[in-house]
Amino acid sequence: MILVTGGAGFIGSNFVLDWLADSDEPVLNLDKLTYAGNLANLAALQGDARHVFVQGDIGDAPLVQRLLAEHRPRAIVNFAAESHVDRSIHGAGEFIATNVVGTFNLLESTRGYFAGLAQAQQAAFRFLHVSTDEVYGSLTPDAAAFTENHVFEPNSPYSASKAASDHLVRAWHHTYGLPVLTTNCSNNYGPYHFPEKLIPLMIVNALAGKPLPVYGDGQQVRDWLYVVDHCSAIRRVLQAGQPGQTYNVGGWNEKTNLTIVHTICDLLDELSPRADGQSYRQQIAHVTDRPGHDRRYAIDAGKIERELGWRPTETFETGIRKTVTWYLAHPDWVRHVQSGAYRDWVATQYGAAGVADDSGRAA
């Protein structure tokens, strides 16, 4: 069994679905179920004995320690994090609590568990920490892409909290010998993405006839990674990565935010045209840029390709078409997320079916 934290969020739920589609090894899924945690993402696994869900916080040391003792996972994959930059600007406290203190508590619980393993089990155990390219700061237009050796220069409360968690993970390896792996990924997109991030927000707003808000001039550059490709990279790092090492995971797809929005509008013009025959580009509205908005991120994913043989399979053109098509095919998911009804769905579908509360007991 493996333990996945944050496995009801966007990337985490995609990873759990992908893992169980490819393997019969069970997943113990620990998620706090904040606003971005959505068990409806995992509806396909309802009744599947390979998926054990527990609602709880990585910072709850007694709960985590009990789960480790009971389920004896061979690996931990840590997705649990607050991740929205805008939210971190308006309220940094939750980001510090989850991303820094929570990671510390998870590492300490894991260290105690690891110390009690037999030598052969210790040799096979891994703690994989999923992080972001935002810890590296911002690049000028002509600068080389981020490598694993780039100096950390976080510019938002979110990226600073993730940088801190990365440092903690590194320290627990060098000080205590915990066999850790860290991945720093570029911007993900794909199914089950909570519609506050750029791509799902543009799709949802466009279809609803709402403005498509673009920060500033829209020339901020990001590298875009299809979430299923990210999941395959994490599996590969977990399988063959060297303890103590960091692996950058990117899509080799640098695009400006405005290019992304134009691409989405053009796909929707093709796949779900407006009733008036006008382009969705008519809905684009430039808004005041957010404070400290990094201008460019770019990932050099050469190390993971050279050492582990991983490279993304999706181009941005194929991945974004799959993403838009998914949102068009799942209006109920979007509606439930926007209205908050997905929380009612969780209570209805899982309330008496083994979802554990934060004490670990079945709710």
CATH code of 2-189+226-252+298-313+341-350, in short, is 3.40.50.720
Residues near 141 by beta carbon (within 8 Å), at least 6 away in sequence: 221, 295, 296
Q: Give residue 36's pLDDT.
A: 78
Residues near 84 by beta carbon (within 8 Å), at least 6 away in sequence: 36, 158, 196, 197
Average pLDDT over residues 175-182: 98
Average pLDDT over residues 348-353: 40
Q: Give residue 363's pLDDT.
A: 25
pLDDT level of residue 263 (50, 70, 90 thresholds): very high
Cβ burial 341-360 (10 Å sphere, 16+ → b, else e): ebbebbeeebeeeebbeeeb
pLDDT level of residue 244 (50, 70, 90 thresholds): very high
Distances (CA, A) of 244 to 79, 167, 171, 176: 18, 11, 9, 11
The residue with tokens 């904040």 is: 34
Of 116-120, 191-195, 249-253, 308-312, the poorest mean pLDDT is in: 191-195
- pLDDT tens readout for residues 185-216: 999 999 999 887 889 999 999 999 999 999 89
- CA-CA distance, 54 to 357, in Å (whole number)? 7
Q: Give residue 341's pLDDT.
A: 60
- CA-CA distance, 163 to 99, in Å (whole number)? 9
The residue with tokens 């990001």 is: 222
Task: Please determine, for residue 353, whether its predicted confidence score (pLDDT) is greater than 50.
Answer: no
- CA-CA distance, 103 to 2, in Å (whole number)? 17
Average pLDDT over residues 129-153: 95
Task: Please determine, for residue 126, whether its predicted confidence score (pLDDT) is greater than 80.
Answer: yes
Task: Please determine, for residue 75, whether its predicted confidence score (pLDDT) is greater than 80.
Answer: yes
Residue 28's DSSP bridge partners are 3, 52
Q: Give residue 7's pLDDT.
A: 97
Average pLDDT over residues 176-185: 98
Q: Give residue 64's pLDDT.
A: 98
pLDDT level of residue 343 (50, 70, 90 thresholds): low
Q: List the one residue out of 106, 64, 114 whose CA is nearest residue 81.
A: 106
Average per-residue pLDDT in the chain? 91
Q: List the one residue out of 145, 190, 158, 154 whose CA is nearest residue 297.
A: 145
Residues near 343 by beta carbon (within 8 Å), at least 6 away in sequence: none
Could you give the 3-state DSSP secondary structure of residue 356? strand
Q: Give residue 356's pLDDT.
A: 31
- pLDDT tens readout for residues 2-33: 999 999 999 999 999 999 999 999 999 999 99
Q: Give residue 289's pLDDT.
A: 82
Distances (CA, A) of 313 to 26, 80, 188, 252: 26, 26, 14, 11
Task: Please determine, for residue 234, whether its predicted confidence score (pLDDT) is greater than 90.
Answer: yes
Strands 254-256 and 221-226: antiparallel
Q: List the one residue out of 157, 180, 186 whose CA is nearest residue 167.
A: 180
Could you give the 3-state DSSP secondary structure of residue 103? helix
Query: Are the beta carbons of 261 and 211 closer than 8 angstroms?
Result: no
- CA-CA distance, 132 to 86, in Å (whole number)? 16
H/E segment holding residue 64? helix 61-71
Q: Give residue 31's pLDDT.
A: 96
Q: Which two tokens stand for residue 325?
A: 């098509």
Task: Please determine, for residue 85, whether its predicted confidence score (pLDDT) is greater than 90.
Answer: no
Task: Please determine, for residue 362, whether its predicted confidence score (pLDDT) is greater than 60.
Answer: no
- List the chain domain ranges: 2-189+226-252+298-313+341-350
Longest distance between any two alpha carbons in the chain, whole Å: 68
Any idea what DSSP says for residue 288? Answer: P
Q: Give residue 272's pLDDT.
A: 98
Catalytic residue positions, numbered = 133-134, 158
Average pLDDT over residues 318-346: 84
